[in-house]
C-alpha cells in the first residue's frame, strides 16, 4: 500500500524507489512552510536518501529565505533531484535551484511522465 503524505503545500509518496513530490497549485512558500514540508519529507524517507521527482508546476512565489533553506539544509537526503517545470516562471525557479543546490545532481523535464521514464530507465 502506498503511503501518501499531504501537507498544506505539497503531496508526496514513495514508489519504484522514487520519492514523488508535488507542490500544490497556486501556493506561495515561506520559510516556515518550507521547513514543515521538508520535515514531513524527511519523516517519509526515514533516513534513507532517495531520487526525488519534484513537480514545481503551480508554485507562484517562493520567499528568498525559503529558497535558501530548500536548496541548502532542506536538500538533505536528496540523492538526485528531477524537476518538472513547464512554464517560463517554473523554468526560472528550476534554474535558480540548479545553481544554488550543489548536494545532488539535478535534471529538468517539461512533464511528469518524461521525468518518471527517465528515472525508471536509470534504475
DSSP string for 43-67: HHHTT--EEEEEE-TTEEEE-HHHH
Say yes or no to pLDDT of 89 above 80: no
Strand partners, 15: 18
Q: What is the pLDDT of residue 48?
A: 96
Provide the whole-model pTM.
0.90
Q: Tell me the domains of the chain and their CATH numbers.
A: 4-121 (3.30.750.24)
Rounded to an integer, the average pLDDT of 81-87 is 91
Amino acid at each position: 500500500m502506498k503511503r501518501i503524505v499531504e501537507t498544506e503545500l505539497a503531496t508526496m509518496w514513495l514508489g519504484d524507489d522514487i520519492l514523488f513530490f508535488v507542490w500544490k497549485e497556486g501556493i506561495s512558500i515561506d520559510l516556515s512552510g518550507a521547513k514543515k514540508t521538508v520535515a514531513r519529507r524527511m519523516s517519509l524517507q526515514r533516513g534513507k536518501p532517495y531520487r526525488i521527482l519534484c513537480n514545481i508546476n503551480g508554485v507562484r512565489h517562493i520567499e528568498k529565505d525559503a529558497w535558501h533553506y530548500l536548496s541548502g539544509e532542506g536538500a538533505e537526503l536528496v540523492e538526485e533531484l528531477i524537476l518538472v517545470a513547464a512554464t517560463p516562471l517554473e523554468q526560472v525557479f528550476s534554474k535558480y535551484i540548479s545553481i544554488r543546490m550543489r548536494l545532488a545532481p539535478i535534471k529538468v523535464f517539461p512533464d511528469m511522465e518524461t521525468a518518471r521514464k527517465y528515472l525508471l530507465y536509470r534504475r
